[in-house]
Amino acid sequence: MKHPLIVVVRVACLSAAFSTSSNGQNLVDLSDTSVDSGVINGAIYGIDSSHPSGTGIFGRSSGGVFLTIQNNGVEQGYNTSAGGVMDTKRVPQWNHEITIGSLGVVTIGNKDFVPFLLDINESASNKKNLLSLDDVKIFTTSATGVSDPTVGSLVSDSRLTLRYDMDAGGNNSVLLDYNRIGGGSGSADMALFVPLSAFSGVGLNQNLYLYSKFGGDLANGDADAGFEEWTQGKGTSSIPEPATFSLVSLCALACVIRRRR
Ligand SMILES: [Ca+2]
Ligand SMILES: [Ca+2]
Ligand SMILES: [Ca+2]
């Protein structure tokens, strides 16, 4: 198990890159060993070098792998427990809904983020080691077993609320290198930190759907070989309960009224 201190040190390192990155049209090239992280639409995409990974080990304390995607060329999917949707695999054991209440929170600089980890599996040679992450869209909903067949139908599904969109405002991308963190050595390839503010007011029992797409945006970034796997990163605190805030506010208001009498 990872010591909490390692998380603190790692996110402190990322905070430096956070302040110098820009939003909007953006390529975060994590295949460039001089680049450790970048920001797209407020979320940090960074190299993760501290986590043990692999099914059953990676993120076990947070529930393990929740999204498994595999195809050649372009591949996409989201973490629904419904089978046969897009390019998802190993449904529902390693591809299933997660709740808002299960998410961890970490602080980077003076902002709170929800961490996710990505473990890719690509061929190690002949430039097949590269993989483009083309899109990440995160939704919340009270629905379970969502089976929209396209990203367009996901976005237009009235049951779902879009909370984060990598491609908002432009066709943004992240380039990943399977060999950078040592391929199958047991480390995650990328950490994604989504601003906690994206989930403001969402009930803890709501489901989170994370849609991601690979292999389409960048030359030599085709998908191949094994599964791409998403897990929840481990937080240093938990998501606050919206109802708790409401009760605190009501209590504060009651105290003010009482003092005025
Ligand atoms: Ca590849
Ligand atoms: Ca894109
Ligand atoms: Ca793959």
Q: What is the pLDDT of residue 8?
A: 33
Residue 179 has pLDDT above 80, yes or no: yes
How many angstroms separate the CA atoms of 41 and 60, rounded? 29
- Residue 173: Cβ within 10 Å count: 24
Q: How far is the CA of 225 from the centre of ligand 1 (A)?
A: 8
Q: How far is the CA of 245 from the centre of ligand 1 (A)?
A: 45
Query: pTM for this one?
Result: 0.82
Structure tokens of 33?
């060993």
Q: How far is the CA of 133 from the centre of ligand 3 (A)?
A: 11
Whose tokens are 């808002």? That residue is 100
Q: What is the pLDDT of residue 209?
A: 98
Residue 20 has pLDDT above 50, yes or no: no
Q: What are residue 213's phi and psi, to 5 degrees? A: -135, 140
Q: How far is the CA of 255 from the centre of ligand 2 (A)?
A: 50
Q: How far is the CA of 73 from the centre of ligand 3 (A)?
A: 9
Q: What is the pLDDT of residue 25?
A: 64
Q: How far is the CA of 241 from the centre of ligand 2 (A)?
A: 32
With vertex at residue 58, the alpha carbon angle to CA 130 and CA 34, rounded to the nearest 5 degrees, is 40
pLDDT band (50, 70, 90) for residue 52? very low
Residue 181 has pLDDT above 80, yes or no: no
Helix (H) or strand (E) holding 242: helix 242-260
How many angstroms separate the CA atoms of 63 and 117, rounded? 12
Q: Which ligand is nearest to the CA of 132?
A: 1
Average confidence (pLDDT) over 98-110: 91
- Report residues near ion ligand 1: CB below 5 Å: 122, 128, 131, 222, 224
Radius of gyration over every alpha carbon of the chain, rounded to an integer in angstroms: 19
Residue 144 has pLDDT above 60, yes or no: yes
Average confidence (pLDDT) over 91-102: 96
Residues counted in the chain: 261
Residue 16 has pLDDT above 60, yes or no: no
pLDDT digits (tens, 9 = 90+) for 217-251: 998 899 999 999 999 988 888 888 885 544 444 54
Among 12-16, 85-89, 130-134, where is mean pLDDT lowest? 12-16
* pLDDT over 90 percentage in the chain: 58
| Domain residue limits, the chain | 4-260
Q: What is the pLDDT of residue 133?
A: 97
- Report residues near ion ligand 2: CB below 5 Å: 134-135, 167, 171, 173, 217
Name the residue with higher pLDDT: 188 or 177. Answer: 177
DSSP letters, 125-163, are: STTTTEEEEEEEEEEEES--S---SSHHHHHH-TT-EEE
Structure tokens of 121?
């599996």
Mean pLDDT of the chain: 81
